Amino acid sequence: QHLCKVRVADCGGENVVMEETMRTETDEIRDNLKYLTLLSRDYPSQAAAASEIISTQALLKLPKGTEHFMSDLHGENEAFVHILNSASGVIREKVDQVLGDTVPKHTRAELATLIYYPNEKLPQLKARCTSEEALDQWYTETLLSLIDICRLVSSKHTRDHVRRCLPASCGYILDELLHAHFEDHDKDQYYGEIIESILRYDRADAYIVRFCEVIKRLAVDRLHIVGDLFDRGPRPDRILDSLMAHHQVDIQWGNHDVVWMGAAAGSPLCIMTVLKTTLAYNNLDTLEGGYGISLRQLERFAQSTYADSDVSRWIPHADPRTAAGDLTAAAQMHKAVTVMMLKLEAQVIARNPDFDLQGRDFLNHIDFAAGTVDYHGTVYPLLDCDFPTVDPAAPTTLTAEEGHVIAGLVRSFAESERLQRHVQFLYAHGAFYKICNGNLLYHGAVPMTEDGAFAAIRFEGVARSGKQLFDYCDRRARQGYSAPPGSPARLAGQDFLWYLWCGAKSPLFGRSAMTTFERLYIADPAAHREIKDPYYKHIAALDTAERILREFGLAGAGCHIVNGHVPVRAIEGESPIKGGGRLIIIDGGFCRAYHQRTGIAGYTLVYNSRGLILRTHQPFESAEKAIHEDEDIASKSEYIYTAPQRILVRDTDEGGRKQALIRDLCALVEAYQTGVLPQGVAQEM
């Protein structure tokens, strides 16, 4: 076959048809010879390439894998791990489907709990068996049930994929059991001997645990976290450990994430901001127990500086799960950190005029003699006039002792290996936004004007909006951690990470102001208001959601926006579904601190081969109660989008990559057939 390209040129008003060089497919193959030579290393013969084409084309006809979306976890590690283990209720549904109504409900609940927490639940269930015979019977029944459930959750995957999910130590046996046909009587003794040998050699516990892990692995293909892993809840570090162990996860940064990223990068202001939030919720275990960051030097400084101060306004919000005790020391540190944070904020605002935060450098607007603050033209009395470390003549200058404390904390954050690993993971697996299988994922907002246009935000002399703004923010956020230490780009990037946390036009914040100062120092509730970006008004309309999707290159009824950040007040009747069904806000108040405000305990969005399902969760009490009492999270589900036909792998992003591979392999076969490449030898470059 020949490829003929023809173009028409305009020469002085006269159309001239110019025929380009006739090219053959072999010429095209020669042009791509370097790539095809590399490909031939993996497929050194026509038979190998054709075999891969056949298996890949078949894979494209499988149903797409299941994706789960969660957001705003805010350190609630136990609830997160339970939802992860239960696949947001999917595994319990599979258990009920396999065992059926003839098996008592409590027995099904026990098996589900065993799958969620095999190492913890297994000893409890074994202890009920009063004899060796009873234990062997229980082992056999449990293994057979797990085999059936595992077979069900693996039904959408190729056998090769399932094998790759099996542990190397016992993968062959698990594979044999998983693909056993017990109705095949010719193999009765074969399969029976496998089960009996597992019991005889005391391997039943290990195989049960492995089957439980494989079931959880196969139930969810991909996990999307739409921002805000940190702050408020007790152990965000444990959530990150779980995510790092997950087989496929991506993260869209939230404003609570980027400020921790800035702290790990060495930004003194981000460190003070992180400490301010941590102390406000009395979550010291995150820093000290989770990341090994000592606060002893800060505590000594705060106790000596604020020994005679009234710190009642700085008493932390005590989580009922933690021992309250004497909170005075935490309150003193809270106040010390707040004052240092205000000084550093003023310095960052001064060196970044394009942040447009002038007026929020509050220490420059305080009349310390009068005890008042000029707040955007209105003078308010301060609720606390005690500033022992502030020089009214130079209010934003750190004292020598404050500088010493901050330097020590910067070193501690930099030297925390676990924190650095977690933040490197956030950079490697995270981004400002993600487009995946027709869905647009981002945490906060696309800044808008009052009339609904994309707001143009000016940084470094250039105005950007929409996708261009998101791409710019992603690049600046990465500079804050990856640019050479001490370079202007790194310092500017760290300042920008702080701006993303609280800036009025930050897409991750989406409000007029972070009113921390106002709530601590000004009594008037009007000063505490944080006005939402017009985005939150306009997303009620279908045309807004479709315009945002088009801005990011998406169109069609199957495309959706998955958004976090602002808790949906379900208790007041608010729906998480906006934009005519095209935008879903999945912040349902996962954090315990938000439960009263939302009336629920979070959402999980499930995207399977049939469409989108929204799962609404009720509060989770504790892992201990789940293990010992088989108590699951109460959830309800609703389809919010049903695909017109079942979604197959070929319809996904991965399917597009597979189809591109098929085209390349077809070219490789052509290269073999025409003699451009010899078979059986991987050519040197």
Identify the pLDDT of residue 505: 94
Residue 601 has pLDDT above 60, yes or no: yes
533-587 confidence digits (pLDDT tens):
999 999 999 999 999 999 999 999 899 999 998 888 888 888 999 999 999 999 8
What is the C-alpha to C-alpha distance for residues 601 and 198, in angstroms, rounded to an integer?
Answer: 42
> What's the confidence (pLDDT) of residue 160?
79
Q: What is the pLDDT of residue 322?
A: 54
Q: Is the dihedral of CA 139, 142, 148, 154 positive or negative?
A: negative
pLDDT in tens, 204-226: 898 899 889 988 998 889 999 99
pLDDT band for position 417 (cuts 50, 70, 90): very high
Q: Give this prediction's pTM.
A: 0.89
pLDDT tens column, 484-517: 998 999 999 999 999 999 999 999 999 999 999 9
Taking the CB of residue 122, how many other CB atoms lie within 10 A of it?
17
Give yes or no for a contact between 544 and 551, defined as CB atoms under 8 angstroms apart: no
pLDDT of residue 34: 87
Residue 199's pLDDT is 86
pLDDT at residue number 17: 41
Q: Could you tell me which residues come within 8 angstroms of residue 410 by beta carbon, excluding any fewer than 6 positions away?
A: 266, 268, 271
Contact call for residues 481 and 414 (beta carbons, < 8 A): no
pLDDT of residue 458 exceeding 50, the answer is yes
360-387 mean pLDDT = 95
**pLDDT given for residue 234 in this prediction:** 86
Residue 570: per-residue pLDDT: 86
3-state secondary structure of 70: strand
Please check the confidence at residue 447 and state whether its pLDDT lies above 90: yes
Average pLDDT over residues 36-59: 93
With contact defined as beta carbons under 8 Å apart, do 80 and 73 qualify? yes
Residue 102 confidence (pLDDT) above 90: no
Give mean pLDDT, residues 194-202: 84
Tokens found for residue 580: 């005519």
Is 683 a residue whose pLDDT tops 50? Answer: no
Mean pLDDT (the chain, rounded): 88
Mean pLDDT over 630-659 rounds to: 90
| Chain position carrying tokens 């069904």 | 581
pLDDT exceeds cutoff 80 at 439 = yes
Interacting residues of 70 by C-beta distance below 8 A, sequence separation 6+: 80, 83, 223, 224, 225, 226, 586, 590, 602, 603, 604, 605
* Burial class of residue 194 (count of CB atoms within 10 Å of its CB; 0-12, 13-18, 19+): middle
pLDDT surpasses 60 at 10:
no
The amino acid at residue 335 is K
Question: What is the mean predicted confidence (pLDDT) over 105-126?
Answer: 92
| Angstrom distance (rounded) from CA 101 to CA 440 | 40
**Does the pLDDT at position 16 exceed 60?**
no
> How far is 342 from 337, CA to CA, in rounded Å?
9
| pLDDT in the model for residue 459 | 96
How many whole angstroms separate alpha carbon 174 and alpha carbon 214? 10
| pLDDT exceeds 90 at position 29 | no
How many Å apart are CA 88 and CA 608, to the nearest integer?
13
Is the pLDDT higher at 658 or at 173? 658
Whole-angstrom Cα distance, residue 569 to residue 597?
A: 6
pLDDT at 19: 41
DSSP alpha helix (H) spans, 43-184: 46-59, 77-86, 90-99, 105-116, 118-126, 132-153, 159-165, 171-178
3-state SS assignment for residue 146: helix
Q: What is the 3-state secondary structure (H, E, C) of 12-35?
A: CCEEEEEECCCEEHHHHHHHCHHH
**Cβ distance 214 to 166 under 8 Å?**
yes
pLDDT in tens, 124-176: 999 999 999 999 999 888 988 888 888 888 888 877 787 787 777 666 677 77
Which residues fall within 8 angstroms of residue 170, CB to CB, at 6 or more apart?
A: 203, 206, 207, 210
Helical pair 268-280 and 255-265, crossing angle rounded to 10 deg: 130
Give me the pLDDT at residue 319, please. 60
Query: Which pLDDT value is given to residue 188?
Result: 55
Q: Tell whether the torsion through CA atoms of 416, 417, 419 and 424 is positive or negative.
A: positive
* Helix, strand, coil percentages for the chain (3-state, nearest 5): 55, 15, 35
**Residue range 605-609: average pLDDT?**
93
Classify residue 183 as left (phi > 0), alpha (psi -120 to 50) or beta: alpha
DSSP per-residue letters across 610-674:
TEEEEEEEPPP--HHHHHHH-PPPPEEEEEEEE-SS--BGGGSHHHHHHHHHHHHHHHHHHHHHH
Q: Which of 171-175, 273-277, 308-312, 657-661 has the lowest average pLDDT?
A: 171-175
- For 170: left if phi > 0, alpha if psi spans -120 to 50, otherwise beta; the answer is alpha
Q: Residue 588's pLDDT band (boundaries 50, 70, 90)?
A: confident
pLDDT at residue 99 tops 60: yes
- In which band, very low, low, confident or very high, does the pLDDT at 388 lie, cut at 50, 70 and 90? very high
